[in-house]
């Protein structure tokens, strides 16, 4: 399924082929590194690219955009899923949000080389450390303070977060 791209209203208009090629390269870099936003300023010129969050597969919901179908009639996007697949987390109600209690930089992993504290699908208890937020050179361990399963992580490693920003969404037990 094609992923839609966002553009800010005041972004610079591209006029030349070379600019278009640079943008294509930027897009590839963003995809490869799982970046959500990129902004480049050069003098008075400015380019801002933003990726929307990829939507998970949904059974029974009409697909948007062109679809390629193979001769066998299966949609190229289709991984045939059994009926009764759970709906996308965004549409789920009663999710508990873990919000940032401070201002700082979000880190999903204890150190650059290790795996994340938690990820989508992880079970947490109120005492589980879910991430670290660095503020003024101090690493603050953030506890879940709720029990359940992580269904969404709307922030990325190294992202600046403000007070009250949603870090995780949890489906409570």
Partner 1 sequence: MFSRILIANRGEIALRIIRACHELGVEAVAVYSEADKDAPYLRLADEAICIGPPDCAESYLNIPRIISAAEISDVEAIHPGYGFLAENVHFAQICKDCGITFIGPPVEAMQLLGDKVQARKLARQVKVPVVDGSEGTIENESEALKLANQIGYPVIIKAAGGGGGRGMRVVHNDISLRSAFSAAHAEAEAAFGDGRVYLEKYILEPRHVEVQVLADNEGNALHFFERDCSIQRRHQKMIEESPCPALDKQTREELCEAALRMIKEANYVNAATVEFLLDKDKKFYFIEVNARIQVEHPITEMVTGHDLIKWQLKIASGHTIRISQKNIRRTGVAMECRINAEDPANNFSPCPGTITEYLPPGGPGVRVDTHVHQGWTVSTKYDSMIAKVIVHQKTRTEAIATMKRALREFVVEPIKTTIPACLDILSHNLFVKNKVDTGFVERNF
Segment contacting partner 1 (CB under 8 A): 7-15, 21-29, 116-124, 155-163?
155-163
46 makes contact with partner 1 (CB under 8 A): no
Closest CA relative to residue 58, chosen from 76, 84, 94, 31: 84
* Residue with Cβ nearer partner 1 (5 or 163): 163
Residue 19: both structure tokens together: 């600019």
Helices and strands (H, E) in the chain, number of each type: 1, 11
For residue 75, give the DSSP letter. Answer: B
Compute CA 118 distance to the chain's CA centroid, rounded to the nearest angstrom: 15
Strand partners, 129: 143
The window from 1-9, 14-22, 46-54, 154-162 that contacts partner 1 (CB under 8 A) reads: 154-162
Task: Choose the binding region for partner 1 from 17-25, 96-104, 120-128, 147-155 (rule: CB under 8 A).
Answer: 96-104
Q: Do 52 and 6 contact (CB within 8 A), yes or no?
A: yes
157 binds partner 1 per the rule CB under 8 A: no
CB of 104 to partner 1, least distance (A): 5
136 binds partner 1 (CB under 8 A): yes
Taking the least distance from each CB to partner 1, the nearer of 57 and 157 is 157
């Amino acid at each position: 399924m094609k992923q839609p791209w966002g553009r800010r209203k005041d972004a610079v208009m591209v006029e030349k082929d070379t600019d278009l090629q640079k943008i294509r390269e930027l897009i590839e870099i963003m995809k490869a590194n799982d970046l959500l936003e990129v902004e480049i300023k050069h003098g008075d010129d400015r380019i801002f690219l933003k990726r929307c969050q990829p939507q998970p597969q949904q059974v029974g919901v009409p697909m948007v955009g062109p679809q390629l179908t193979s001769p066998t009639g299966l949609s190229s996007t289709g991984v045939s899923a059994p009926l009764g697949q759970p709906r996308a987390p965004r549409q789920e109600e009663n999710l508990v949000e873990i919000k940032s209690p401070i201002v700082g930089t979000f880190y999903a992993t204890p150190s650059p080389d290790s795996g994340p504290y938690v990820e989508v699908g992880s079970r947490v208890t109120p005492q589980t450390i879910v991430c670290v937020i660095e503020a003024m050179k101090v690493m603050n361990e953030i506890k879940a303070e709720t029990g359940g399963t992580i269904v969404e992580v709307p922030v990325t490693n190294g992202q600046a977060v403000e007070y009250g920003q949603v870090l995780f969404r949890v489906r409570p037990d």
